[in-house]
Amino acid sequence: MTIRGPIVAVDLFCGAGGLTHGLLQGGVAVRAGFDVDPACRFPFESNNSAVFVERDVRDLKAQDITSFFLGNEVTLLAGCAPCQPFSTYSQAGRGKRRGDDWLLVSEFGRLIGEIEPDLVTMENVAQLASHPVFDEFLGRLKDYAVSWSIVECSALGVPQSRKRLVLLASRLGSSDLDIRAAGSAVRTVRDTIADLPALVAGETHTDDRLHTACTLSPLNKRRIQASKPGGTWRDWDEDLRASCHLKESGSTYPSVYGRMVWDDVSPTITTQCFGFGNGRFGHPEQDRAISLREAAMLQTFPRSYQFVSHDEAVRFNRLGRLIGNAVPVRVGEVIAETFKRHLEAVAA
């Protein structure tokens, strides 16, 4: 088979650009990203050689996307369709219209059917695999060779425990489409953030506004001082325990108010990862939660990745959402590398 040219891509639900940045690092030319959230424009366009389009995917037609393809390349339609009830797409800043659960996956499938790109990739929550809409989505790919699996992202070199459904599909052949074949050495919290300057709770580093840590109440400062890496609130004296911990329902959440472990991967980075009380988001040794920059680096964004302009305020909730909802950059890079191996195999 003769391969026409380079892989060019459009990234639907692009967010702050995690998937796009990874695809670019892996050698895929991303032309554009679409998202409903205007807060994504600055990080997406400032760090990636691609155009940001603020549009709801439900309003898109094929021509809106194919206008970014020139006709002489291998085309890739990529995206991480946010899923209800496991995402924040319909929460403030990400939803102009509230749709039915999983509707956005169907919209992604609709656009695949209209555009018929050569390649497709989707990263999504693992729960999607058990939902009927995933079977419907796979039905849209009847003319494609499809490989999908629930991937532990730490096996791909992401320094966190993060299970995600990753799908790759091709109209060009079936060879070498399994992303799990990529494999990578495990990277730890220490490997990733140990060289960042120390902070105290509530401090922002003078050279990097994203390296900023939330304040702690006096009680939470005592709690983190009593916390061990990898430990739980059960290690505390009883006077430090929250009332919810004393209830039977609260006893099943040991990772709340936890510290990360230097020589292990981090927990899944969420939209609330900047808060000590929101999970095991305490710094391994400093008495604070991880900073926004540390969270971004655990999502494998480069240390230099810019999320806000110089005159824009750093808001924890907004930036936590952009960082926590992102596809880890390394996952995008491995997807690109897998597609490149696939094209070499089908062209051989």
Contact (Cβ atoms closer than 8 angstroms) between residue 240 and residue 209 = no
Contacts of 252 (CB under 8 A, 6+ apart): none
Distances (CA, A) of 5 to 29, 42, 50: 11, 30, 19
Could you tell me how far CA 331 lies from the centroid of its own chain?
8
Of these residues, 14, 80, 83, 214, which one is catalytic? 83
Contacts of 279 (CB under 8 A, 6+ apart): 255, 256, 258, 267, 270, 272, 273
Contact (Cβ atoms closer than 8 angstroms) between residue 327 and residue 18 = yes
273 is catalytic: no
**How buried is 313 (Cβ within 10 angstroms: 0-12 exposed, 13-18 middle, 19+ buried)?**
exposed
SS (H, E, C) 135-186: HHHHHCCCCCEEEEEEEEHHHHCCCECCEEEEEEEECCCCCCCCHHHCCCCC
Comparing CA positions, the residue from 341, 345, 335 lying closest to residue 76 is 335
Round to whole Å and give the CA distance between 323 and 305. Answer: 11
DSSP, collapsed to helix, strand or coil, labels residue 15 as coil
Catalytic residue numbers read 83
